[in-house]
Amino acid sequence: MDQDKPIEKKTDEPKEKFFTTPLIIIFVTIFIDLIGFGMVIPILPYYANTAPFNATPLEIGFLVAIYSLMQFFFSPLLGRLSDRYGRRPILFISLLGSAVGYLVIGFANTLFLVFLGRIISGITGGNISTAQAYIADVTSKKDRAKGMGLFGAAFGLGFIFGPALAGVTSKYGVHVPFFFAAVLSFANAIALYLILPESLKPNQRAVLPERKNRLLELFESL
């Protein structure tokens, strides 16, 4: 027997599964967030040309921008809250908030309520940073780039399918797309609550200052 021959390493060890149920739920969450962002686009002519809305071009522009503006301000804050209280409760509450925002738009009979619904949806759509943090928590360094890449894919697909779904479902009524989005968000929230485990252990959570101006805290998060 040749004792100088190198020992071959066994390669039949089970490989770590990448597409776990928690990751799939996170990707679906981002997908639904972006569906909500894009869903209003095909409906804009309705708000501009129909009473009692009769929105001006400037108001239409704000209607589109207000969602992203709320995301810009609240995404860092929700991310910090998830560092303190865990990813799971922030994601769950934000999904319920998204459902409420869509329902407000669906039942809106004034332009003010449409704006209110968009503001609520934008604030809760700020869970993007929390979802990214969850992916970082549950993926290895080797798979992290893949996870963030699929995060971007879910982001893009949501923006593509949002206007498409609005166009299809609006055939049954201009408010139906928002009711449809509310059902999706609520179903996703239930699935998250029942299935998604917490990724941030209690001993890893950050401690937020107890006495601090909340508005100042918001701007310091940016």
Q: Name 168's Cβ contacts closer than 8 Å, sequence gap at least 6.
A: none
Q: Is residue 156 situated within a structural domain?
A: yes
User: Would 19 be classed as within a structural domain?
Assistant: no
Is 25 a member of any domain?
Answer: no
Residue 133 falls inside a structural domain: yes
The answer to whether residue 30 is domain-embedded is: no
The pLDDT, as a whole number, for residue 214 is 47
Does residue 208 fall inside a structural domain? no
Predicted local confidence at residue 204, as pLDDT? 67
Res 13: pLDDT: 45
Tell me if 88 is assigned to some domain: yes
pTM of the predicted protein model: 0.79
Supply the DSSP string of 95-145, one letter for each residue.
HHHHHHHHHHHHH--SHHHHHHHHHHHHHHGGGHHHHHHHHHHHS-HHHHH
Look at the chain and report how many structural domains it folds into. 1
CA–CA distances in Å: residue 146 to residues 20, 23, 55, 96, 140: 13, 12, 43, 28, 10
Alpha-carbon distance of 23 to 212, in angstroms, equals 34
pLDDT one digit per residue (tens) for the chain, 222 residues: 554 444 344 444 445 666 778 888 888 888 887 887 788 778 877 888 888 888 898 998 898 889 889 989 998 899 888 888 888 999 999 999 999 999 999 999 999 999 999 999 989 988 888 888 888 888 888 888 888 888 889 889 988 999 998 889 988 988 999 999 899 899 989 988 998 888 877 766 665 555 454 445 545 555
| pLDDT on residue 216 | 53
- CATH number of the domain that 97 lies in? 1.20.1250.20
Q: What is the pLDDT of residue 9?
A: 42
User: Within a domain: residue 35?
Assistant: no
Residue 16 pLDDT: 62
**Neighbouring C-alpha atoms within 13 Å toward the C-beta of 73:** 16
Which residue range is the domain that position 179 belongs to? 44-200
